[in-house]
Amino acid sequence: MALIVQKYGGSSVGDIERIRKVAQRVIEAKKEGNQVVVIVSAMAGETDRLIGLAHQITEMPSEREFDVLVSTGEQVAIALIAMALESQGYPARSFLGAQIRITTDGVFTKARILGVEAERILEELEKGTIAVIAGFQGIDEEGNITTLGRGGSDTTAVAIAAALKANACEIYTDVEGVYTTDPAICPEARKLSRVSYEEMLEMASLGAKVLQSRSVEFAMKHRVPIHVRSSFSQEEGTWVLKEDEKMEEVLVSGITCDKKEAKVTISKVPDKPGIASKIFGAVSEANVVVDMIIQNVSAEGYTDVTFTIPQTDLKKALEVVRRVSQEIDAGGVESDSNIAKVSVVGVGMRSHSGVAARAFSALGKEGINIMMISTSEIKLSCVIEAKYAELAVRVLHEAFELEKTKR
């Protein structure tokens, strides 16, 4: 008998009709002889609605109360799913994160899971009951309700799959799986049948929205096989797995695009030891996460420094950077939010060369100027003007012949 964890996202439980369909799907898995644990997100739009309510009260709600509020969406969904299962004659019980004891740290709104009490769930499974567990939430050491950040139900599902040593963690969503790029931007995008944890991690943090990146980190650490698939069809989706040699045969597996960064340039920075540490020390103290950094070759003792940060942190970062640049006697500070970061991702880049050259030539042919470049072992990212983002995605997809993807 296999043990399967199934997670249903908001769109899969968007209304009562959909909830009945989900129950049907859970029952099918059960009828096939599996033990099933179900993790559920709030009904579509519900978390946004709750966040909206909080912001009607105050711009900066207490984070503790914010978590109490936004965690309620999942409570509604688990009860409805359990009712739907019971009404079909299948014993089911719903549980909140605190009941199953999903313990987290105390960082409200983006808590990390510390542990899951597997015994509690296993007891239910032994009785033949289907356990329906609220995603996105936990309880900290002091007994406070916490939430795991947007999209956190994915992480709940993976953590529970890891704790139960489940055979698979199925993530049900409204798309067929993980694509070579966003099909809304590039109609030639292909579904990948397999992708490695590392690639998925790059893609998730670069803006492919199917999985919360923390869930992928967790799955990689605990070797949980994830199957991302649609709750609207029976098709196989995408397996997220440990890398194997076959995966490296493919040069590039996906193109991603992120329009949520901004770039900051400090000109005429004195080229002396300790200066970079002054700038980035201050930025990090303000809790702003820097992504790319470039520093120009020094001319006459001065250099320019450019870096990217999340757009939402731009105001905060500019305040800090303006202050520091006066202290270090730099020139001006400029910023630009009209940028996009397009990236080429693939484990094949480890063993093949020429990816950068091919990407640059494809962008160059379209007259797209590259403002910044960064690379890692399995990724190449370019910052370009935002208005060219979609075009860049399409030309890169074509340059690496991803429409022929068979992986």
Q: Is 268 exposed, middle or buried (0-12, 13-18, 19+ CB in 10 A)?
A: middle
In the complex with Mg ion, the residue whose CB is nearer, 207 or 270, is 207
Euclidean distance between the first and final Cα of the chain, in Å? 29
Alpha carbons 396 and 167: distance in angstroms, whole number: 36
The residue from 35, 41, 181, 265 that contacts ligand ASP (CB under 6 A) is 41
HSE at residue 244, side-chain half, CA atoms within 13 A, is 6
Q: Which is nearer to Mg ion, 61 or 151 (CB)?
A: 151
Q: Which residues of this chain interact with Mg ion, rule CB under 5 A?
A: 9, 151
The answer to whether the Cα torsion of 394, 395, 396, 400 is positive or negative is positive
Calpha distance 332→380 (Å, rounded): 29
Minimum distance from residue 336 beta carbon to Mg ion (Å):
30
How far apart CA 62 and CA 286 sit, in angstroms, is 20
Residue 174 or 336: the one with the smaller Cβ distance to Mg ion is 174
Least Å distance between CB 172 and ligand ASP?
12
136 binds, among ligand ASP, Mg ion, none (CB under 5 to 8 A by kind): ligand ASP
Consecutive H or E run containing 380: strand 379-385
**Is 42 a binder of ligand ASP (CB under 6 A)?**
yes
CB of 182 to Mg ion, least distance (A): 15
Shortest Cβ 350–ligand ASP spacing (Å)? 32
181 touches ligand ASP by CB under 6 A: no
Look at residue 47 and give the partner it binds from Mg ion, ligand ASP, none, a contact being a CB closer than 5 to 8 Å depending on partner kind.
ligand ASP
Count interface residues toward ligand ASP (CB under 6 A). 13
Of 11-19, 144-152, 293-301, 352-360, which part binds ligand ASP (CB under 6 A)?
Answer: 144-152
Smallest distance, ligand ASP to C-beta of residue 9, A:
6
Tell me the C-alpha distance between 23 and 90, whole Å.
Answer: 10
Picked from Mg ion, ligand ASP, none, the partner binding residue 42 (CB below 5 to 8 A depending on kind) is: ligand ASP
Q: Is 60 helix (H, G, I), strand (E, B) or coil?
A: coil
- The answer to whether 173 contacts ligand ASP (rule: CB under 6 A) is no
Give kind and range of the element (H or E) at residue 219: helix 213-222
CB contact at 8 A, 331 and 268: yes
Question: Quick one: which of 30, 110, 150, 268 contacts ligand ASP (CB under 6 A)?
Answer: 150
Three-state SS for 266-335 is EEEEECCCCHHHHHHHHHHHCCCCCCCEEECCCECCEEEEEEEEEHHHHHHHHHHHHHHHHHCCCCCEEE
CB 165 within 8 A of CB 119: no
Q: Does 71 bind ligand ASP (CB under 6 A)?
A: no
Which of residues 61, 97, 138, 151 is near ligand ASP by CB under 6 A? Answer: 151
Considering the rule CB under 6 A, would residue 152 count as an interface residue with ligand ASP?
yes
User: With respect to ligand ASP, which residue has the nearer C-beta, 73 or 346?
Assistant: 73
* Binder among 11, 12, 47, 205 for ligand ASP (CB under 6 A): 47
* Residues of span 10-29 touching ligand ASP by CB under 6 A: 10
DSSP string covering 226-281: EEEEETT-----EEEE---HHHHHSS--EEEEE--EEEEEEEEEE--TTHHHHHHH
Distance in angstroms (rounded) separating the CA atoms of residues 385 and 371: 8
Distance CA 354, CA 356 (A): 6
**Interface positions, 77-96, toward ligand ASP (CB under 6 A):** none
Of residues 11 and 253, the one with the C-beta less far from ligand ASP: 11
Least Å from the CB of residue 152 to ligand ASP: 5
Q: How far is the CB of 52 from ligand ASP (least distance, A)?
A: 12
- Contacts with ligand ASP, 121-140, as mask; x by CB under 6 A: --------------xx----
| Comparison of 152 and 346: residue with beta carbon closer to Mg ion | 152
What are the residues binding ligand ASP (CB under 6 A)? 9-10, 41-42, 47, 73, 135-136, 150-154
